[in-house]
Amino acid sequence: MKLFPALLVILFITACKDNSSQSAANTPAAGKDSTVTDSTLAYLPIIELIRQDLRHVDSFAGGILKKTTINGKKDSLFIKPAVFHQLAAAFLMPELETTTFRQKFTESSLADESTGQLQFIYTPNDPALALRNVVAYITPSTSSSGDQVSRFYLEKEWAAGDTTIQQKLTWKTRQYFYIVTIRQPKKGPAITSIEKLIWDPEQFGE
């Protein structure tokens, strides 16, 4: 998934600043990663990038495999596009719409030298928001294809009656997404379920 052209410049500037900070810091920690909060904010259009990947899925007639694990019990089946979109809607949160996202979240960035990726990290200004954490992973490139968004990671937590629900959502562009849901009732054990939807045939065996 390519980034919008205007964002490439911002990412390049951010990456350069990260690299400059790392070069100036002659400490063991500097070799791992560095966190930068900069006045020049990108605020990636995450929801639009996910929608772009959804359109990619709709553009071909390949199979979509759904794998489910509930408390360790596994199952799998191929599903129709309508079911895929129904489950993918979990990523299309109102909080990620551009205006709301800019108002309610603070952005920082991190350059991870071990993976060569840039991470754009978004934390809510209001701790009461259900969406607790958003991370976009960017793979920089000097080729004509441009920088690539490789993955999104989101965390949510909310209450439903006497049950606390936590979700950890991962979207791997052009390949799959999965949602880990942990339901913890006030009394009794937690129930953990994992739903993984795969549209890249090379990932079917994972």
Q: Residue-wise pLDDT tens for the chain (206 aa)?
A: 555 444 444 443 444 344 434 333 333 333 344 444 444 457 899 999 999 999 999 998 689 999 999 988 999 999 999 999 999 999 999 999 989 999 999 999 999 888 888 999 999 999 999 999 999 999 887 666 667 889 999 999 999 999 999 999 999 999 999 999 999 999 999 999 999 999 999 999 87
Count of other CB atoms within 10 angstroms of residue 3: 19
Tally of residues, the chain: 206
pLDDT at 139: 87
H helices, E strands: number in the chain: 4, 10
Number of C-alpha atoms within 13 angstroms, CB side, residue 62?
A: 17
**Dihedral, CA atoms, 24, 26, 30, 32, nearest 10 degrees?**
130
- Nearest-angstrom CA–CA distance, 34 and 49: 26
Contacts of 134 (CB under 8 A, 6+ apart): 46, 96, 105, 121, 122, 152, 153, 154, 155
Nearest to 140 by CA among 2, 48, 24: 2
* Host domain of residue 121: 5-25+33-203
- Nearest-angstrom CA–CA distance, 119 and 136: 6
pLDDT at 27: 32
Token reading at 54: 């959804």
Number of domains in the chain: 1
